[in-house]
């Protein structure tokens, strides 16, 4: 998601080369990437990945990408964007062209074509409900893409328990030769454990694997934003109200600071509210006392959770990539460390839903 914005093509290629040599062979993109999204760079992440794929055996790479839903980005597919069968077909054709491949290994619906609480929204608001394209119509379009050999597997992203159940029902009842839903890509990390309260059950019951995105909470769990973080004080103490933004610490070049005001998810879900800052401090402390880096603690915790098939990582440079690879190779955290993590979670539960 950073290729073509934070990382130019040369830097992206160096990172892809090093990732490949380290054994990483699955790559996740989206038609709207890079982020922060803008018309001038739209689709560039797929183009960069596609040009690099030409230098590697295609049958050894797992290429995943995502189809954008409604969201005001009228430059995608000529806008306004929806998930109509025609839009889905056009999105797949566009991604195939940008990726320079004849098939996509995993296609995912990036977010639903209906109202759902997302990116820090904690309540479902019935008055906002809408559905412009039925799940049945979307599924039929994806099934046709699988039948045509353009897509191998189908997945979801930013979905709810109800959504997972509806999608999987179309394959299971009655049993058919239509494609199963194999993966759900949702946020999951030490600061955002919303998955455990609903989609975890839905995934377990339907055999859907979790691809955990933002395993480091957009970098917060590395601890780098704690230095100089400002948590504003109100009449009754530090503000902990939902959506109250204040200044993260860290360097001006760190991603959340560099693109401040352009990251909707960063500022709605991961704003520097008091519970976010305090929970992060506690996890950093636990990491130090347990002899691992904060990055290693966060990533190994995610990878050790039930139902997690993979963590979707993003690095700003090759040094970060090497740290992430080393952390992932550490295996599941000892039970004693997990117990200490759970103690922090009880004190500061789910501050970034």
Residue 119 confidence (pLDDT): 83
Band of pLDDT at residue 237, cut at 50, 70 and 90: very low
* pLDDT category of residue 234 using cuts at 50, 70 and 90: very low
Residues 6 or more apart whose Cβ sits within 8 Å of residue 156:
108, 109, 163, 164, 167, 181, 183, 184, 185, 208
Question: Do 107 and 174 lie in a common domain?
Answer: yes
How would residue 180 be classed by pLDDT, with cut points 50, 70 and 90? very high
Please give the mean pLDDT across all residues of the chain. Answer: 91
Residues 238 and 164 in one domain: no
Number of domains in the chain: 2
Q: Which domain holds residue 262?
A: 220-299+334-347
Same domain, 248 and 154: no
- Asked if 75 and 162 sit in the same domain, the reply is yes
Co-location of 62 and 181 in the same domain: yes
Q: If pLDDT is split at 50, 70 and 90, which confidence band does 47 have?
A: very high
Residues 235 and 182 in one domain: no
Query: Beta strands 104-109 and 151-157: pairing type?
Result: parallel
The answer to whether 24 and 64 have CB atoms below 8 angstroms apart is no
For residue 201, being part of any structural domain is answered with no
Per-residue pLDDT tens over the stretch 55-101: 999 999 999 999 999 988 889 998 878 999 999 999 999 999 999 99
Please report the pLDDT score of residue 257 as a whole number. 66
Is a pLDDT exceeding 80 seen at residue 179?
yes
244 pLDDT above the threshold of 60: no
Residue 191, pLDDT > 70, answer yes
Mean pLDDT, range 268-295, rounded to an integer: 93
pLDDT score of 122 more than 70: yes
What would the mean pLDDT of 166-190 be, rounded to a whole number? 92
How would residue 312 be classed by pLDDT, with cut points 50, 70 and 90? very high
Q: How do residues 130-140 score in pLDDT, each as one tens digit? A: 988 999 999 99
Same domain, 149 and 270: no
pLDDT tens, 14-23? 999 999 999 9
User: Rounded to 5 degrees, what angle do the CA atoms 223, 197, 335 make?
Assistant: 55
Q: Which residue has the higher pLDDT, 253 or 306?
A: 306
Instruction: Evaluate whether residue 312 is within a structural domain.
Output: no
What percentage of the chain has pLDDT greater than the value 90? 78
What is residue 242's predicted lDDT score, i.e. its pLDDT? 36
Report the percentage of the chain scoring pLDDT > 70.
89
Domain end: 187, 212, 237, which one?
A: 187
Q: Are residues 249 and 156 in the same domain?
A: no
Q: Is residue 161 part of a domain?
A: yes
CA distance 23 to 331: 16
User: Among the three residues 172, 187, 202, which one is the final residue of a domain in this structure?
Assistant: 187
User: Would you name the residues annotated as active-site residues?
Assistant: 33
pLDDT at 240: 43
In a domain, 150, yes or no: yes
* pLDDT (average), residues 176-202: 96
Backbone angles phi, psi at 15, to 5 degrees: -65, -45
- Which of 132, 166, 187 terminates a domain? The answer is 187
User: Is the same domain home to 147 and 283?
Assistant: no
For residue 326, pLDDT over 80 is answered with yes
pLDDT higher than threshold 80 for residue 176: no
The reply to whether 204 falls in a domain is no
Residue 85 lies in a domain: yes
Contacts of 345 (CB under 8 A, 6+ apart): 190, 193, 279
pLDDT band at 246 (very low <50, low <70, confident <90, very high): very low
Judgement on whether residues 224 and 153 belong to the same structural domain of the protein: no
Out of 116-125, 132-141, 253-262, 285-294, least confident range: 253-262
Task: Tell me, yes or no, whether 231 and 183 share the same domain.
Answer: no
Is position 31 within any domain?
yes
263 in a structural domain:
yes
Q: Do 15 and 164 reside in the same domain of the chain?
A: yes
Structure tokens at 102: 């004849």
The CATH code of the domain that includes 171 is 3.20.20.100
């Amino acid at each position: 998601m950073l290729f073509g914005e934070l990382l130019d093509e040369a830097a992206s290629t160096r990172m892809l080369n090093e990732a490949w040599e380290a054994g990483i062979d699955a790559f996740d993109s989206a038609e709207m990437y890079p982020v922060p999204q803008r018309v001038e760079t739209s689709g560039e992440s797929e183009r960069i990945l596609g040009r690099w794929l030409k230098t590697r055996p295609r049958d050894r790479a797992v290429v995943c990408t995502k189809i954008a839903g409604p969201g005001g980005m009228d430059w995608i597919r000529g806008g306004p964007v929806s998930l109509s069968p025609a839009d889905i077909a056009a999105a797949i054709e566009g991604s195939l062209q940008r990726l320079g491949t004849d098939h996509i290994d995993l296609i995912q619906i990036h977010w639903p074509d209906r109202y759902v609480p997302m990116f820090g929204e904690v309540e479902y608001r019935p008055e906002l409900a809408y559905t412009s394209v039925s799940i049945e119509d979307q599924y039929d379009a994806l099934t046709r893409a699988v039948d045509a050999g353009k897509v191998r597997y189908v997945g979801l992203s930013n979905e709810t328990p109800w959504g997972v159940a509806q999608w999987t029902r179309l394959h299971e009842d009655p049993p058919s030769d239509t494609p199963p839903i194999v993966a759900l890509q949702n946020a999951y990390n030490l600061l955002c454990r919303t998955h455990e309260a609903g989609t975890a059950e839905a995934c377990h019951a339907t055999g859907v694997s979790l691809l955990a995105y933002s395993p480091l909470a957009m970098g917060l769990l590395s601890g780098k934003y704690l230095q100089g973080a400002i948590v504003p004080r109100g009449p009754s103490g530090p503000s902990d109200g939902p959506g109250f933004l204040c200044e993260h610490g860290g360097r001006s070049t760190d991603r959340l600071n560099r693109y401040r005001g352009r990251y909707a998810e960063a500022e709605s879900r991961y704003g520097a509210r008091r519970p976010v800052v305090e929970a992060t401090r506690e996890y950093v402390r636990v990491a130090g006392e347990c002899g691992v880096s904060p990055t290693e603690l966060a990533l190994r915790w995610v990878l050790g959770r039930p139902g997690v098939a993979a963590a979707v990582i993003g690095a700003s440079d090759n040094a970060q990539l090497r740290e992430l690879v080393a952390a992932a190779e550490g295996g599941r955290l000892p039970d004693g460390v997990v117990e200490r993590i759970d103690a922090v979670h009880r004190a500061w539960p789910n501050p970034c839903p």
